[in-house]
Structures are given as structure tokens and as C-alpha cells.
Structure 1
């Protein structure tokens, strides 16, 4: 599980799509299309969160929440009301206002033919599965302990100092040069979005040579969409979602 598509296909022992279909009165094919059309929005929101230490801290904390982890692991049902509400709160942080979310589901509806009101209900369910899957993926890589440390730091408001100690300054000490936590997060994320690995990090970026740095790098790499079907990847949906988010900054 290295990206959001992989995570969601493996959720609930591979039964998540069928469970969503049953819960929302859709065919399995419609449920699959709905999930695939919503992945770009979750990916864009998480990617944006990775450039904001406070928002990223909220995502990290959410990933350790037992409600989201149960959503991902439970093979017989879609996420609980508690998990859905918590993921709605996270979506508000990473995507923005209800107006922005409504624009996103309307664009996803145009790509799939599924009603916007149905997609609006499915979005927090998919988000809870994805958030729980982030933790499961890190656990499979032996990084669950580091994720817990990052979450504790986020809850205490010390995420910046711990990450600074673990990975160092990204590029010097001045804010204008991109140093500190924000520069570190941006450089790590950029290396993955650019197709490079840890060994291809931008010049001046500190190597992620600690368990915390490895956990952060693995986490941000999983924010990518993964392979989407042609009707989604060629629909312009990802570009439209990017425009929606950028225009509402």
C-alpha cells in the first residue's frame, strides 16, 4: 500500500467497495467509480496539508485515531458515525469550507454520473478509510512507533521542534531560504511528487535518516493518487480540483 488507490482497494480486507455499494444503494461498479473520483480530492487536500505544519499535525493525529483504524480494518461494515464525523472535520481542514467541498463533489459527479448529494455522503467515508490506511501502511513498514511520536508532538504543539531535531534545517537558518519545518516538509514532499526517492531530495534538504524522518517521508509519499482509470485520469478532474482549491486560498 504505497498510495491512496492501493490503500482504498485493500481497505476492509478488500471489501470496502462492496460495503460502500451496499450502504449507499449503488452497484459495485458505481461505488468503485465514486471512490476513484474522490481520490484526487483527498490527495490534493493531503498534499496541501503537507506544506502546513499545523494541518499536517492534524492529519497525523487523525491517522492514529482508533476510529479511523477500525474503519480501515473492519471487513464487514463502512465507517462508524464517529469515524465519519471525524473525517468530515479533517476534510474541512485539508479542503476548506462546505462550499469548496460542494464544488468538488459536483465536478466528481460530472465525471461519474453519480449524484452530488450521494458523493457528498461517500466522501467522508472514503476519507476515513484512507486515513486509517495511512497508519496501517506505516505499521506494515515498521514505522507505527514513529507515527505515534509525531502524533504526540502534534497534540502537544511540539511537532516543529521534534521534526527539527530529527531532520534538521532544510536549507540553512533563514526563513527566506526555506529552512525549518516548513522547508523540510516542502522538500520531502517535492522529492516524492517529482518522482524521486530519498536519495534524490532537492539540494540542501536534510536526509531523512531517522525513524521520524522515514515515517514522514513514507506518509507524504502515500498522499499520491496512484493509478486511476482512464475515465478519471483523462477527465480533467484532478486539474479542476486543483483550480478549485487554489482559487479559494
Structure 2
């Protein structure tokens, strides 16, 4: 799947994080006249073209009127791959597989950063785009602060990850899966989350060391994948930091 070569970043906090990141080449900034003076100054110091327009013009460019006064365009960065040094040092990785909604993916990236994951892992070219506008917006700048790796083959990555001592967990609504409060993630773990409709793919079962489920009311079958990620991350990595 071909992804757009240019990505769009919206809002003051996201543009500020973009300007501070060395991982992105910023093409230009468009700002509503009279707003965000410090960001305009920062962009100018970096040699980035800045265009000032009216609020109405910016709404037309953005496609809606809640643009928060500033947009930036940047080159899509080359996909990042986890190297030997990362795999040796990392302890907590979150891996959403095949998500369709970029908003869910952005929410998961935000939660991963909030609860101390070392990285988010996706399969390159499959599912929602990590750099879709909606994903960047939903990540609330987290995409600029936590590594997001795009691996060409998830099964191949899992073979390598287990060589570095990672235990692989998969989330499921199956009653036979271990209840989340009873799970002990160990020193190095990867938590996999499945797609909104179909869950984790069939090939994953042979790589999964332990299936886990979130205990909930019998009247509700499952949570939104973004909400599920937050619950799992908090329970395993947030609340139990001393484990």
C-alpha cells in the first residue's frame, strides 16, 4: 500500500513537537495571522517557510474550522526498524495489528507513551497509517516522543524478538484466556492487540506465549481497542511498576 509522501500536523502543541524533532523534515508552516508568534519565530529560525493567512483561509486549507490556528507539512519519514541495541534494552513493546481506524491507532500510541512502553510496533503497509492526520491528532504529540517501528514482517520480527528474551502476549475476549489481574508480564514483554473487527490474525497463535483478557461485565463482549490498550497498559506497566 502506497502512503502519502507528505504528512499534515495540526495544532500548536503538535507543531511545536514537530519543530523540536530531528526525525522530520518540515516543508512549511501555515498559521492564522496574529497567532502563535513563538512558533512562527521558531520556524523562521530553522529556515522553514511560514505563510500567514486569515482564519477563513486556514479553515479552507485544513478542511474544517477547528484547526487551532496552525498547520505544518512535513516529509513522511523513512520507516524505522528496531535494531539490536533497541531489542537488547527494551522491556515493554505494544503491537497493534491490522487496525483500520487511524484514530484508534493514535490513541494507542498516546497510551503507550503515557504508561511507559518503550515503543509501538506495527506491520508496514498494513492497516491504518501511522502518519495519517487523524492518527497524529489522536496521539496528542505522543508520536513525536515514542518510537513507532514499522516492520515488514511481524512473524519474522517475533522470531528475532524471542531471541532477545521477549515474552509475547495476545489480547482476546476468549474466556479461556488468563484474566488480566493474574498476568505477570516479566522483564521483557510484547503486548499484541488485534484489529477492531477480526482480532489477531490466525498466524499469531503459534507465536503467542500467553493469551490475556480483560475481565468485564457479561453484558459487554469487548472494549474499543483504544480503551482496551489503556486498560492493559495501566494494569501491567502503570499500576504495577514495582512488580
TM-score where L is the length of structure 2: 0.24
Larger Rg: 2
Higher helix share: 1
TM-score where L is the length of structure 1: 0.24
Higher strand share: 2
